Chains A and B, each alone.
Chain A
Amino acid sequence: DADVTQTPRNRITKTGKRIMLECSQTKGHDRMYWYRQDPGLGLRLIYYSFDVKDINKGEISDGYSVSRQAQAKFSLSLESAIPNQTALYFCATSDWKGPQYFGPGTRLTVL
């Protein structure tokens, strides 16, 4: 089984809808991250969490919110989706001394 899983893998939604992307990990890492990837722009950090009680904004947090339900679970919400939030979304995890490991991604389309 994959160490980092994301659900759903693909999602099409309409402008104004609320949507939640979920991430789970079995690596035992404390730190979890949400990124979005756009062509030509690379990976950009949305939010990150060092533990269950710690949430931090990243480079592009506007329009997004997160919840760290447990050490192994970190969800990303779009409260009111807009078309320019169409992108690939990746969850990643790390421990305090190592690099980040990524999930398989969610392809989100906002119509």
Chain B
Amino acid sequence: QKEVEQDPGPLSVPEGAIVSLNCTYSNSAFQYFMWYRQYSRKGPELLMYTYSSGNKEDGRFTAQVDKSSKYISLFIRDSQPSDSATYLCAMSAETSYDKVIFGPGTSLSVIP
């Protein structure tokens, strides 16, 4: 079993839809959680990062962590074609974000 699992997609939604992207993990020591967005042929761009359980909101994006279920989610409200990208979850057990484990990514297409 991989440490971090993520549905690779592709996920296709109409513009304006609410998107839910999810990751599961096996290591209960993970306590730092991140979401990156990666456009084709570009480097991963940090979207959100959070510590431990709970929700964090930033504009149209909400990150949710459920440590009891070892499950994290990224919600995108009012999705736009510019949100079309691959989304990587990442997590770390270390206090300083080192030794980060990345999920393989979910490919998202938002159709106008």
A residues near B (Cβ < 8 Å) are 4, 31, 40-43, 45, 48, 90, 94, 96-105, 107
Contact with A along B39-51 (1 / 0, CB 8 A): 0011111100100
Interface of B is mostly: loop
Having A43-B88, A90-B43, A94-B97, one finds 17 other A-B pairs with CB under 8 Å, namely A31-B98, A40-B8, A42-B102, A43-B102, A45-B100, A48-B98, A90-B44, A96-B96, A99-B32, A99-B90, A99-B100, A100-B46, A100-B100, A102-B45, A104-B43, A105-B43, A107-B41
Please determine whether B97 and A102 come into contact, CB atoms closer than 8 angstroms.
no
Q: What number of residue pairs across chains A and B have CB atoms under 8 A from each other? A: 49
Closest CB in chain B relative to A67 CB, distance in Å: 20
What range describes how many residues of B lie at the interface?
A: 20 to 34
B residues near A (Cβ < 8 Å) are 8, 32, 34, 36, 41-46, 49, 88, 90, 96-100, 102-105
Please determine whether A98 and B97 come into contact, CB atoms closer than 8 angstroms.
yes
